[in-house]
Chains A and B, each alone.
Chain A
Amino acid sequence: MRSDRSTSAPLGLKVAAIGGLAFLHIPILLIFLYAFTTEEKSYQFPPPGLTLQWFAVTWNRPDVWAALTLSVKVATIATAIALVLGTLCAAAVSQTRFFGRETISLLVILPIALPGIITGIALRSAFSMADIPFSFWTIVLGHATFCIVVVYNNAVARFRRVSGSLIEASMDLGADGFQTFRHVILPNIGTALLAGGMLAFALSFDEVIVTTFTGGQQSTLPIWMLEELIRPRQRPVTNVVAMVVMLVTFLPILAAYYLTRDGDQIAGAGK
């Protein structure tokens, strides 16, 4: 005989769990509210009035557009590099056995396990020692380095589920390695790579610490935000940008979730 599992939680637990989630979400909701406030000089709550005018003002700001374009470019290229390197690494670790596999996993995780400031300052001092001027490409270099792990984690989790006999069957039927990759492996790991790529994009799009060290004069959107946080110039515009950034990062996260939710490990469980 099996005792029925109680389905209702104790009241205290319910309150604590819902309270915890509220703690996580109320600040985000406030960002959405403040994007519409008419107050310009302070962070007054409740807002004295609501308006849409700041969306128009923000739309016409060239510095916001420049920062957004740079962020998208950096994130796209960094994601592309991370996709290639992360997939190669995941394929090697999961499809072959070799000495030092554990070390490879550690090496991939290290850039994100150590605090960002260490990665940032290490890259900065290396660039200045090698006389490499800070540019668009130094930002990409830094971002790609810590984006590899996200793609790698997703790809490794999926490779584990791709049966080796599928690959052998393809080979037995006369396909060469490239054909097997194109027609058997890729369709199997495709969604995991897409999810990993989306998360890598979100990670790069939002990254600020490493960028402050590896960027030159250019400012990505997070750098622009940081400037505004330290020395506020036009608060309503910052409010609107904050809301847009929030929305832009939500979409890849949701997409990554829906792409991998049937798997044994859902994308994004670790950042």
Chain B
Amino acid sequence: MTIAATQPILPNRPRLTGRISDFLWKHPQVLLAVLLGPPVLWLGIIYLGSLFALLLQSFFSIDDFSGLINYEFTLATYKQLLSDANFDIIVRTVLMAATVTLFSALIAFPIAYYAARYARGKWKAVFYLGVMLPLWSSYLVKIYAWKLILAKEGILTWAFTKLNLLWLLDGWLSLPVIGGNSLSVSYTGTFLVFVYVWMPFMILPIQAALERIPANLIEASSDLGGTPQQTFRHVLFPLALPGIVAGSIFTFSLTLGDYIIPQIVGSSRLFIGQAVYAQQGTAGNIPLAAAFTVVPIIIMGLYLWMAKRMGAFDAL
């Protein structure tokens, strides 16, 4: 009796792996530490460490004469950030991000709605892959494709000529701000590429939100005499809104930080990403570059906070 009480039900396992396994089973905290340790250390040290080091630098300033970083706490760099030229860059980028998001939603919604409500079986798979392949295919190759399209001798000019609509294209390009010498050096071009590259990120969240709307809600709305427009406005749109907001997080954030698209297709006026790149590279002004990166972080923080309040994260 006494012997049985002091001995465990099974003897300790003979092999080392068995003993380690038993030890971890008895000490779940150790198991947790073993599991979580490596990824948390990696992300915590390499990623968060770098991020904080960068943000810290935005409170330093650069000496105008020597070009060296002055390691004293100051808000001078932030004052410089809000100077007219730099503030213009911020406004331009935010406006572009907002326009891109709006148009992405307009193009994405019908695709998502069709895929969620009408596509069945094989067509569902076709729609899914039809969205996934462009979403995942190479970012640079997609930009390159648009360079081919927007070039003066490219397919777009060719199509407009064949349709005898060249005057329309020329008229558009002669407009101030959005026009330019050719599409590939105008804001219109930049906008088109942004929409093309980021729009797929909008489709799947909207589709997920739409799939959760029971079809009989729409039928009920029709039964009660709602026209398709009214049903859309009062039933479909409010229920799909969390999905749209979730998708807009991607389109907005990705446009906000991009510096390659406006560099390759666009006018010489800078966006935030390009400003960061120029400041850390040729100008060597790391503090200002760091201050510029704070702008998207703050804007996205606000955006995520608002999105969370609207319940967008349930649609992700």
Contact = CB atoms under 8 A, between A and B. Distances in A.
Nearest to B157: A45
Contact of B153 (A43, A116, A229, A230): A43
Nearest to A224: B140
A172 to B, nearest CB: 11
Contacts of B17: 176, 178
23 contacts: A20-B110, A28-B133, A31-B145, A42-B151, A43-B154, A88-B36, A92-B35, A92-B39, A104-B36, A110-B47, A115-B257, A115-B296, A118-B296, A122-B53, A125-B54, A126-B49, A176-B22, A202-B136, A222-B139, A226-B260, A270-B316, A271-B136, A271-B201
A270 B204 contact: yes
B108 to A, nearest CB: 7
A119 B130 contact: no
Contacts of A68: none
A43 B259 CA distance: 24
A20 B108 contact: yes
Interface footprint category on B: 35 or more
Contact of A28 (B21, B108, B145): B145
A168 to B, nearest CB: 11
A22 to B, nearest CB: 10
Contacts of A266: 128
B256 interface: yes
Interface in B143-196: 143-149, 151, 153-155, 158, 196
A209 B199 CA distance: 19
Interface stretch (B77-85, B112-120, B237-245): B112-120
A253 interface: yes
B49 A206 contact: no
Contact of A104 (B40, B57, B200, B286): B40
Interface of B: 13, 17-18, 20-22, 24-25, 28, 31-32, 35-36, 38-40, 42-44, 46-51, 53-54, 57, 107-108, 110-111, 113-115, 117-118, 120, 125, 127-149, 151, 153-155, 158, 196, 199-201, 204, 215-216, 219, 228, 253-254, 256-260, 263-264, 273, 276-277, 280, 286, 289-290, 293, 296-297, 300, 316
A44 interface: yes
B196 A27 contact: yes
Nearest to B294: A118
A225 B258 contact: no
Given A30-B145, A43-B154, A108 B257 contact: no
Contacts of B264: 229-230
B42 A145 contact: yes
A16 B219 CA distance: 22
Interface of B is mostly: helix
A271 B216 CA distance: 33
B140 A226 contact: yes
A123 B32 contact: no
A244 to B, nearest CB: 9
A72 interface: no
B153 A45 contact: yes
B149 A30 contact: yes
A56 interface: no
A107 B144 contact: no
A225 B21 contact: no
Nearest to A254: B129
Contacts of B48: 107
B181 to A, nearest CB: 16
A49 interface: no
A129 B201 CA distance: 35
B144 A31 contact: yes
Interface of A: 3, 5, 7-10, 13-14, 16-17, 20-21, 23-25, 27-28, 30-31, 34, 42-46, 84-86, 88-89, 91-92, 96, 98, 104, 107-108, 110-111, 113-119, 121-126, 129, 141, 144-145, 148, 171, 176-178, 199, 202, 206, 208-209, 222, 225-226, 229-230, 238, 242, 245-246, 249-250, 253-254, 257, 261, 266, 268-271
Given A148-B43, A242-B144, A45 B158 contact: yes
A208 B257 contact: no
A61 B300 CA distance: 43
A225 B39 CA distance: 32
A45 to B, nearest CB: 4
B110 A16 contact: yes
B228 to A, nearest CB: 8
Given A107-B48, A115-B253, A118-B297, A225 B132 contact: no
A148 B118 CA distance: 35
A125 B51 CA distance: 9
